[in-house]
């Protein structure tokens, strides 16, 4: 027996139910966004569950609400149901795959909104995680849409470090340090000792800033550059000055490491910040200033 007395009544009520669920989703999202006690990962899961429940409710009322469905001859109803089911199965196979992949993403939680990640070859900030897709914003301010099934089957690298419940500087240092920081082999330069002391002091100051914030995430952005051997030491000194200049913009002085030697010297740069918008807004300017130093002929 149909839930509603007529098809017109069913249409009206289904529209009212759909609109009500839409506004309920908006209200819940508004209060969750304002809440500081709920983590981003928990918010993502709540959003996902609410959307799934809303879709199931609407589909239920559509299938059970129309009286005209009961007037169809059982034989034709079976044929119509079979044909419709087959058509829907073919049409929605990819949607269903993305939907199930969304469940896996929410359950595993390899990244959250606001994390800097690399999915396959695409690197950027996660701007949205929905039931069927993930949206990344690159450093070029380009939005990349990836289906959930594509994300699940790709290699995922998360460059964001969760610093929740870290109270000791020793634990913080272990989390933040890169493999290059932990090594004992360093290039011999006049300012070696000063650089090591400054680096540790800088890290300590950064920890004090972070410890006053609530459940922060530390975001990392890395890239490589090739420098010529000619006047390398002079250029490195200028790069050091540039990194000090960008300390205020990122909240932490960018670091650089020599990771290889070929026909040129391979230098890896590492930007750290508690705010992804600072990385997104200043990374391009930083790289442009680096290129001016690397390719300058007036040094």
**Order of all β-strands in the sheet with 143-147:** 143-147, 133-137, 122-129, 116-119, 156-158
Work out the pLDDT band at 39, boundaries 50, 70, 90: low
Looking at per-residue pLDDT, the higher value among 104 and 85 belongs to 104
Work out the pLDDT band at 194, boundaries 50, 70, 90: very low
Of 30-39, 232-241, 266-275, the poorest mean pLDDT is in 30-39
- Predicted pLDDT of residue 187: 45
- Spatial contact of 273 and 252, defined as CB atoms under 8 Å apart: yes
Q: How far apart are CA 128 and CA 114, in angstroms?
A: 8
Q: How far apart are CA 112 and CA 282, in angstroms?
A: 22
The first and second tokens of residue 23, run together, are 């506004």
The tens digit of pLDDT for each residue in 129-151 reads 877 888 998 877 888 998 888 88
Work out the pLDDT band at 290, boundaries 50, 70, 90: very high
- Predicted pLDDT of residue 192: 44
For the entire predicted model, the pTM comes to: 0.61
- Predicted pLDDT of residue 34: 74
Average pLDDT, the chain: 77
């Amino acid at each position: 027996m149909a839930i509603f007395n007529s098809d017109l009544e069913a249409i009206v009520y289904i529209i009212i139910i759909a609109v009500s669920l839409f506004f309920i989703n908006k209200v819940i999202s508004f209060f969750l966004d304002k809440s500081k006690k709920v983590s981003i990962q928990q918010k993502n899961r709540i959003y996902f569950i609410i959307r799934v429940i809303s879709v199931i409710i609407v589909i239920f009322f559509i299938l059970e609400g129309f009286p005209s469905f009961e007037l169809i001859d059982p034989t034709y109803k079976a044929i119509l149901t079979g044909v419709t089911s087959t058509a829907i199965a073919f049409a929605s196979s990819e949607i269903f795959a993305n939907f199930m992949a969304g469940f896996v993403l929410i359950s595993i939680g390899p990244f959250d909104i606001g994390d800097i990640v690399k999915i396959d070859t695409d690197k950027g900030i996660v701007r949205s995680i929905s039931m069927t897709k993930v949206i990344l914003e690159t450093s070029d301010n380009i939005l990349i849409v990836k289906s959930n099934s594509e994300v699940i089957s790709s290699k995922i690298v998360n460059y964001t470090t969760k610093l929740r419940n870290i109270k000791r500087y020793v634990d913080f240092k272990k989390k933040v340090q890169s493999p290059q920081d932990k090594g004992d082999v360093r290039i011999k330069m006049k300012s070696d000792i000063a650089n090591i002391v400054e680096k540790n002091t800088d890290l300590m100051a950064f920890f004090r800033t972070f410890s006053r914030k609530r459940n922060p995430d530390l975001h990392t952005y890395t890239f490589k550059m090739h420098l010529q051997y000619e006047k390398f030491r002079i250029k490195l000194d200028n790069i050091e000055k540039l990194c000090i200049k960008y300390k205020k913009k990122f909240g932490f002085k960018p670091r650089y490491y020599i990771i290889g030697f070929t026909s040129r010297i391979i230098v890896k740069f590492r930007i750290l910040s508690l705010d992804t918008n600072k990385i997104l807004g200043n990374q391009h300017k930083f790289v442009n200033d680096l290129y001016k130093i690397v390719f300058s002929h007036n040094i």
